Amino acid sequence: MLINDLSRRLLNSRPFLDDAIRRVMDRSWFVLGPEVVAFEKAFAAYIGAPHCVGLANGTDAIELALKAFGVGQADLVATVANAGMYTTTALLAIGAEPLFLDVNVESRNVTLSEVQRALDTGVKAIVVTHLYGLAVPEITEIATLCRARNVKLLEDCAQSHGARLDGHRVGTFGDAASFSFYPTKNLGALGDGGAVVTNDVEVAECVKRLRQYGWSDKYQVEIAGARNSRLDEIQAAVLSEFLPDLDAANVRRRSIATRYSASISHSSIKVSPTYGEEFVAHLYTLRAANRDSLRQHLKTCDIATDVHYPIPDYLQPAFGSRYAHVQLPNTEQLCHEILTLPCFPEMTDVEVAHVIAKVNAW
Ligand X SMILES: Cc1ncc(COP(=O)(O)O)c(C=O)c1O
Report in angstroms how near the CB of residue 70 gets to ligand X at its nearest.
21
Tell me how far apart the alpha carbons of residues 196 and 155 are, in angstroms, rounded to a whole number: 10
State which residue, 82 or 172, has the beta carbon closest to ligand X: 82
CB atoms within 10 A of CB 333: 15
Strand partners, 134: 279
State which residue, 195 or 359, has the beta carbon closest to ligand X: 195
Report in angstroms how near the CB of residue 28 gets to ligand X at its nearest.
27
State which residue, 59 or 111, has the beta carbon closest to ligand X: 59
Angle (CA) 229 233 235, round 5°:
80
State which residue, 229 or 305, has the beta carbon closest to ligand X: 229
Report in angstroms how near the CB of residue 185 gets to ligand X at its nearest.
7
Report in angstroms how near the CB of residue 324 gets to ligand X at its nearest.
25
Report in angstroms how near the CB of residue 180 gets to ligand X at its nearest.
3
| Residue whose Cβ sits closest to ligand X | 58
Cβ-contact 291, 337 below 8 angstroms: yes
State which residue, 58 or 137, has the beta carbon closest to ligand X: 58
Question: What's the count of helices (H) and strands (E) in the chain, helices before strands?
Answer: 12, 14
Contacting positions for ligand X (CB under 6 A): 57-59, 83-84, 86, 129, 156, 158-159, 180, 182, 192, 194
Angle (CA) 245 233 35, round 5°:
65
Tell me how far apart the alpha carbons of residues 115 and 145 are, in angstroms, rounded to a whole number: 9
**Which secondary-structure segment (H or E) carries 210?**
helix 201-210
